[in-house]
Amino acid sequence: VSDTAENARPSDNVHVALGERSYTIRIVSRAASQFGSFARLSLDRSWAGRGCKRGLVVTDRNVRPIAESLAGSLAAVGISSDLAVLEPGEETKSLRSAQVLWDRLVDLRADRHTVIVAVGGGVVGDLAGFVAATYARGLPLLMAPTSLLAQVDSSVGGKVGINLPEVKNILGAFHQPSGVWIDTEMLETLPPRQFHCGLAEVVKYGVILDEPFFEELERAEPEILAMDPAWLRRIVARSCELKAFVVERDELETSGLRAALNFGHTIGHAIEAVAGYGGAYNHGEAVSIGMVAETRIAERLGWIDAGVRRRIELLLGRFGLPTAAPELESEPLLEAMTRDKKNRAGTIRFVLPRRLGHVELTDVVTPDLIRLVLDAQ
């Protein structure tokens, strides 16, 4: 195979076109010292960011060194910052943590020209973004996602939020960042399981929107698993482009298009809820199992054939992801799906593939069919 990352033409900049709220995602490898000039450029394009001189860098204990190096790069362009270091883990995405950060901003006498810089995975990005969205009716926000999952998913699209004890992501806002900085170097220190977790979402983009990209992932699997920098930039950039494509057309999740991103998530969220957050499966693993189960539903409906289903299952497996959770009972999973905030008025909605690269939103799936597929795992 002659495919290399070079002729796959990795895009270093992904532009997210949202009118006045447009921004750039820059994807680099080992370039922390250039963060400052990217930050300056990104901030200067907006009213609140222009001339911004102060910031609060929010991070967690695991990636604190990365945050400190980015803060150093900010200082070099005249943005002085304080550092807020949180405990890693989903429990941090709480109202209590938000309160700590809000109080910190009050202490700093932050105003609408104080930038919030989120350096970390999805938890840090969602929480810091929510704090940025709500303090003084919106502070400028820069994201530096450090996990593959955050790089290809939560850093694009402006969804920010925190959990209440009973419900995940139930408090939130749409708050677009001024810029997103992705350095693939950050992935090198991740535990492999975290890296695989992000690959689940990468595979998802291929299935829902881009058959050639899916095929590219099939061919380049060894290079990707070896964390070749050029290939990492390629898969991150293509994933961001595909997510940006969707978000640009349905920023506020009102047209139904953005729902395509939920492929694998209807069952995936239920698995997380039933197995417990921070339990047997992390988000990407739950989504991987969810994608396989939902693909099986599509197969039962006659939407796709067994060959496509097998390719999806095979690729996820090669990427170190689980494809079934036979120990989970179907009844509690069904119950969790009914409780999900996306399932209006009792119907369970699914996004299912019609072919590779194309999905459709449907509510024809009956509880019996869901049970059948889950029980057959």
Residues involved in catalysis: 137, 159, 201, 243, 253, 258, 262, 265, 269, 283
- 235, 241 in Cβ contact below 8 A? no
Q: Which of 64, 83, 94, 102 binds a second copy (CB under 8 A)?
A: 102
Q: Could you give the CA distance from residue 127 to residue 12 in angstroms, rounded to a whole number? A: 27
Strand partners, 63: none
Q: Residue 136 Cβ, how far from a second copy at the closest point, in Å? A: 6
Residue 244, CA distances (Å) to 121, 163, 176, 195, 209 in order: 19, 25, 12, 21, 12
Q: Is 133 in the site for a second copy (CB under 8 A)?
A: yes
Nearby residues of 366 by Cβ (< 8 Å), 6 or more positions away: none
Taking CB under 8 A as the criterion, the residue among 17, 76, 164, 364 binding a second copy is: 164
**CB nearer to a second copy: pick between 174 and 277:** 174
Q: Which of 1, 9, 166, 327 binds a second copy (CB under 8 A)?
A: 166
> 112 or 371: whose CB is closer to a second copy?
112
Nearer to a second copy, 13 or 338 (CB): 338
Among 83, 85, 95, 301, binds a second copy (CB under 8 A): 95
The tokens of 111 are what?
């105003």
Decide if residue 113 touches a second copy (CB under 8 A): yes
CA–CA gap between residue 183 and residue 35 (Å, rounded): 9
368 lines the binding site for a second copy (CB under 8 A): no
Candidate segments 75-83, 251-259, 270-278, 295-303, binder of a second copy by CB under 8 A: 251-259
Q: Which residues share a beta bridge with 352? A: 360
> How many CB atoms within 10 Å of residue 27?
23
Q: For residue 159, state whether it binds a second copy (rule: CB under 8 A).
A: yes
Phi then psi for 109, rounded to 5 degrees?
50, 45
The answer to whether residue 344 forms part of the interface with a second copy (CB under 8 A) is: yes
Q: Where do we find the tokens 């990492």?
A: 232
Among residues 45, 64, 112, 318, the one that binds a second copy under rule CB under 8 A: 112
Q: How far apart are CA 101 and CA 88, in angstroms?
A: 15
Q: How far is the CB of 356 from a second copy (least distance, A)?
A: 30
Range in contact with a second copy (rule: CB under 8 A) among 162-170, 186-194, 239-247, 289-297? 162-170
- What distances in angstroms separate CA 351 from CA 174, 237, 263, 291, 364, one per listed residue? 22, 24, 5, 10, 11
- Residues 48-87 binding a second copy (CB under 8 A) are 48
Asked if residue 341 binds a second copy (CB under 8 A), the reply is yes
Binding a second copy (rule: CB under 8 A), the pick from 41, 77, 108, 173 is 173
SS3 at position 114:
strand
Q: Is 254 in the site for a second copy (CB under 8 A)?
A: yes
Identity of the residue, 172 or 320, whose beta carbon is nearer to a second copy in the bound complex: 172
DSSP of 172-226? EEE---SEEEEEGGGGGGS-HHHHHHHHHHHHHHHHHH-HHHHHHHHHHHHHHHT
First to last CA, the chain: 35
Q: Binder to a second copy among 13, 99, 189, 366 (CB under 8 A)?
A: 99
112/318 with CB nearer a second copy: 112
**Angle 24-223-247 from CA coordinates, rounded to 5°:** 30
- Stretch binding a second copy (CB under 8 A), from 103-111, 285-293, 308-316, 366-374: 103-111
Instruction: Name the residues that contact a second copy, by CB under 8 A.
Output: 47-48, 95, 99, 102-103, 106, 109, 111-113, 133-138, 159, 161, 164, 166-167, 170-174, 252-254, 339, 341-342, 344
